[in-house]
Chains A and B, each alone.
Chain A
Amino acid sequence: MENLKKYNDIFCRVMNVNDSALNEKFTFKDAPQWDSVAHLSLISELEDEFDVLFDSEDILHYESYLNGIKILKRYGVEF
């Protein structure tokens, strides 16, 4: 749960949204504030917080709030 809170905090801070906005609909395609700069900012903060180094493919396909959790789980982050 602690990791989920950290994960949500990063999303809220970078995307400037409340927790309530973070659901299956929060995607790169649909969230207007999720532009290329916000994307890189998100990746950078997640890498620092969870001490991981994403593969290029994962950075490019980090397309949604929920998919991000799946990707982080593959890097050994427990939710």
Chain B
Amino acid sequence: MSVFKSSGIGIAGIACAVPKNNVPVESFTSAFGEEAIRNFTSVTGIKSTYKALPEQTASDLAVVAAQELFSRINVAKSEIGAMFLVTQSPDYRRPSSASVVQLRLGLPIDCSCMEINLGCSGFVYGLQTAMAMMSASDYKYGLLLLGETATKLVDPMDKSIVMMYGDAGAAILLERQEDVKTTTLLRSDGSRYKAIILPAGGFRDMAPDHERFICSDGIERSLYDIFMDGTSVFSFSISDIPEAINDYLKITETAVSDYNAFVFHQANQFIIKQLIKKMKLPKDQVPLALDRYGNTGGISIPLTLCDAYGDKCGEKLKSLICGFGIGLSWGVANIEVDTDNLYPIIQTDDYYKEGKLIPGQY
């Protein structure tokens, strides 16, 4: 079983950023009708999202979140030994956006930098990867960044998804802390890789036709639009996820009462309500941020932590976290964090102007 244990590494702080461009779900009324909007909000709980500006990329949002973190915590960048950027929306096909982010944040050459290509499970996977790297070294800090701009991949007339995704970035500073123990359960099922997919632009089919066709859900798309097999993903969310959480509790010999916060990937409200009912979780300990931010992929767990607890002082959270989605890929872990180290979400319209390369100028 894919279970990992880390000790002596904890969370020093979390900061998140969203684009300044707020998109209320009602703005889609003229496209889809009032009834569809009402049903969508009633089921998913999503009332608005934030959408990146055309020039803004996932790495821009991650960089702003990291800068916010550095403005709150006094860290010598020379003491950051590793940086990880979790994203599926890179700036370029090559190199990885981690290289660009290293430059922009002024991280030293001695800091290892890499990109991790994962979506909604990315925070749990990224956290475990960062902790494992830290465990094998003696540097003081590790930096985990996440960024996503999935709104750029959706057909504007795809009513199943276009109102659901929101863009965001997150930065998590890891440091050495005594007495912190983390157990992580990771799972992946490649047999369901087509459940959420965007086929065009990869090296299997780099530049196919833009021809539109009807998908299995009756919605028209091209190979350049993201597709989600709603039934399959829903089945995964209400079957595999509760099973993984139950397995996690057994493995760790813990019970629901051992945690005071249950922070789940903000896929949609119906799925979270199902998890609350099935796991018999105290509702007031399961925060929701998706009503205002939508589904922000791997950022949704840190974003929900900052949203729910960013203005609270002196509370110690013992959280059970669970991320799940594209791959299909999912993970469960425990994290302990002081609410003093969770910062209010900021909004930004910053982007990296020098990052847009002009023909003949490089």
Contact = CB atoms under 8 A, between A and B. Distances in A.
A41 B42 contact: yes
Contacts of B44: 37
A43 B160 CA distance: 18
Contacts of B217: 35-36
Interface string B219-245: 000000000001100110011000000
B278 A59 contact: no
Contacts, number: 40
A74 B25 CA distance: 38
Interface stretch (B33-41, B95-103, B199-207): B33-41
Contacts of B212: none
Contacts of B39: 14, 37-38, 41
A3 interface: no
B43 interface: yes
B40 A37 contact: yes
Contact of A44 (B43, B235, B238, B278): B43
Nearest to B237: A56
B43 A40 contact: yes
Contact of A36 (B42, B160, B239, B278): B160
B4 interface: no
Interface residues of B, number: 21
B43 A37 contact: yes
Interface in B113-169: 160
Interface size class of A (residues with CB under 8 A): 10 to 19
Contacts of A21: none
Given A16-B35, A41-B39, A36 B230 contact: yes
Interface secondary structure of B, over-half rule: helix
Interface secondary structure of A, over-half rule: helix
B352 interface: no
Contacts of A37: 36, 39-40, 43-44, 160
B283 interface: no
A53 B39 CA distance: 21
A56 B43 contact: no
B231 A36 contact: yes
Interface string B230-273: 11001100110000000000000000000000000000101001
B210 interface: no
B231 A44 contact: no
A31 interface: no
A60 interface: yes
A60 B40 contact: no
Given A14-B39, A41-B42, A36 B234 contact: yes
A21 to B, nearest CB: 15
Nearest to A59: B238
23 contacts: A35-B217, A36-B160, A36-B217, A36-B231, A37-B36, A37-B39, A37-B44, A38-B39, A40-B234, A41-B39, A41-B42, A41-B43, A44-B42, A44-B43, A44-B270, A44-B273, A56-B235, A56-B238, A56-B239, A59-B234, A60-B231, A60-B234, A60-B235
Closest 4 CB pairs of A and B: A36-B230, A40-B43, A56-B239, A40-B270
